A and B are shown apart, each in its own frame.
Chain A
Amino acid sequence: MLGRLAAQRFREIRQVFRQIPQAPRVFSTALNYHLDTPDNNPDLPWGFTEANKAKVKEILSHYPSNYKQSGVIPLLDLAQQQHGGWLTVSAMNEVARIIEVAPIRVYEVATFYSMFNRTKVGKYHLLVCGTTPCMLRGSRDIEDALLKHLGVKRNEVTKDGLFSVGEMECMGCCVNAPMITVADYSNGSEGYAYNYYEDVTPKRVVEIVEALRRGEKPPRGTQNPKRINSGPEGGNTTLLGEPKAPPCRDLDAC
């Protein structure tokens, strides 16, 4: 019996190690130089929508008028939301024109931050947290389940253009690990949503994907029905009453 347990454990460990070539640990999502494609080249015109132009003005009002360059990150974010989750070269050029800097400065910012996608992503960009706490709770299985179900590799878009899977850093839900985030680019920048789906299991994650494919909006937050946000299963075991007042020194002492 111990021998069987040992063999099973050995198989599990080997499986974990075999997973590594399957999911290549790529550290950046894209190249640091641009290759022209028919849907991403500097000749394609691009502009903010009318509603977004108002938002641009609002964003730029946060900064002095001769330091418009400070608004590059919110503007790039807005452009990314408007364009369906990724930035084309022409979008970056337009942002550069608005903040009155040379385009290369905007390219530098866009390549620095990994959340600026410079290649196409799906309408629902699924980001799986892969940092230590989530990994300990099985985020690799979540990622494998997603990739197998959708039939794509990491950072690839499905054929219908709806989903793509990427790895993300810790998003702060270590209590509710493992978790995924869905960046919802299906309604442009008005309907942009960035929702966490926590406490997922490989089965639940596939259900969420199918719900998204049908156009539903699954409830965000913890997917474990027995928990409320980050509380323990079955209700709180502490913090049951009003908290004690903070200690204060005896004001009448002297």
Chain B
Amino acid sequence: MASSLLRLARRSRQAYPSFLTPLSRPFASDALVETKPGEIGMVSGIPEEHLRRRVLIYSPARTASQQGSGKVGKWKINFVSTQKWENPLMGWTSTGDPYAHVGDSALCFDSEEAAIEFAQRHGWDYRVKKRHTPLLKPKAYADNFRWKGPPDTKN
């Protein structure tokens, strides 16, 4: 925590001009609320090497084996963490990546913009994948009994 504060101080000194530190503007509102992209990541305690991750923002498609669309429409962040191996002791899956499960189980957004904002605040390099929605084709039961056309005059 202390190290991240130090990091913040160092970075902010680089970001702002040297004569204008944040502390010399006591009533500037933006010093209190505005967060530049990537800054929240610095105070959140996330280790440095994970601040510059590449993430994918996507909307999970409906599971093909079921017809229900209850979970469709949420947006998730996929931290491409494939660093998994089989633990030699018990055969469980071990990983060295703290983000291995976060995208799947913890983070869920209602809209693309919310997910993008989250990724921006943390300073991750994100890429958005398009969401695919099904086309609604009007159907009718009478199509089963439609006339199949005139007979072939070949024979």
Residues of A within 8 A of B (CB): 64-67
Contact = CB atoms under 8 A, between A and B. Distances in A.
A70 to B, nearest CB: 12
A67 B151 CA distance: 8
Interface string B127-155: 00000000000000000000011111000
A207 B150 CA distance: 56
Contacts of B151: 64-66
B147 to A, nearest CB: 10
Given A65-B151, A66-B151, A66-B152, 6 more contacts: A64-B151, A65-B152, A66-B148, A66-B149, A66-B150, A67-B148
B133 to A, nearest CB: 35
Nearest to A65: B151
Interface string B59-86: 0000000000000000000000000000
Nearest to B150: A66
A66 B150 CA distance: 7
Contacts of A67: 148
Contacts of B148: 66-67
Interface of B: 148-152
B16 to A, nearest CB: 77
Which 7 residue pairs are nearest across A and B when measured between Cβ atoms? Answer: A66-B151, A65-B151, A64-B151, A66-B148, A66-B152, A66-B149, A66-B150
A65 B149 CA distance: 11
A44 to B, nearest CB: 28
Contacts of B152: 65-66
A246 B54 CA distance: 95
Contacts of A65: 151-152
B83 to A, nearest CB: 50
A67 B149 CA distance: 10
Nearest to B153: A65
A65 B148 CA distance: 11
Nearest to A66: B151
B146 to A, nearest CB: 13
B144 to A, nearest CB: 14
Contacts of A66: 148-152
B132 to A, nearest CB: 34
